Amino acid sequence: MKGLCLSVLTGLTTLSVLTQAPVLAAPAAKLVLRPSYGGAVLEGKIYVPGNDVLTGVWSGAGLSRLMKCVPRCAVVSSIPLKNTLFLSNSSSYRIALGGSFRMGQKISVTLRLRNQNILMTQATVTQP
């Protein structure tokens, strides 16, 4: 256990104080896939502690693209993350996957962050 343990003896009583290094939460994602023209768009949220950058997305189903959609969608090389990124068909940033998808299908999705973290999750294909 990391930290410092101090003990102070006062009479017959021992007082112990334990300080522990802060525990950082791990990146997490809760995503679904909504079918779209020529593939599907990821919807849901991605959480990272602090600030980071999403630099890539892969799935076994097909090719993926990171997009910034303000005012029109354009492919970008990365998406900035500040704690939580919400993805939807109306958000500023979107992740599109190419390929064929069936309703209820579970797709493994791998997200790569700039600080070398890899986040693996599953997304279920839902109704458009």
Given this model, what pLDDT does residue 4 score? 42
Q: And the tokens for 81?
A: 């993350």
Given this model, what pLDDT does residue 24 score? 57
- The domain that contains 81 carries what CATH number? 2.60.40.1890
Tell me, yes or no, whether 71 lies in a domain.
yes
Given this model, what pLDDT does residue 20 score? 52
Tell me, yes or no, whether 34 lies in a domain.
yes
Tell me, yes or no, whether 22 lies in a domain.
no
Identify the domain containing residue 56 by its residue range. 28-125
**Are the beta carbons of 28 and 47 closer than 8 angstroms?**
yes
Q: Which residues contact 121 (CB under 8 A, 6 or more apart)?
A: 28, 29, 30, 31, 108, 109, 111
**How far apart, in whole angstroms, are the C-alpha atoms of residue 68 and residue 103?**
26
Tell me, yes or no, whether 95 lies in a domain.
yes
Tell me, yes or no, whether 33 lies in a domain.
yes
Cβ density class 25-37: b for 16+ within 10 Å, e for less: eebebebbbbbee
Which pLDDT tens digits describe the chain residue by residue (128 residues)? 444 444 444 444 444 444 454 555 778 899 999 998 888 999 999 999 889 999 999 998 767 999 999 989 999 999 999 999 999 988 999 999 998 889 999 999 999 999 878 899 999 999 87
Reported pTM: 0.76
Tell me, yes or no, whether 17 lies in a domain.
no
Domain total in the chain: 1
Given this model, what pLDDT does residue 60 score? 82
Tell me, yes or no, whether 9 lies in a domain.
no
**H or E stretch covering 50:** strand 39-59
Q: Which amino acid is at 119?
A: L
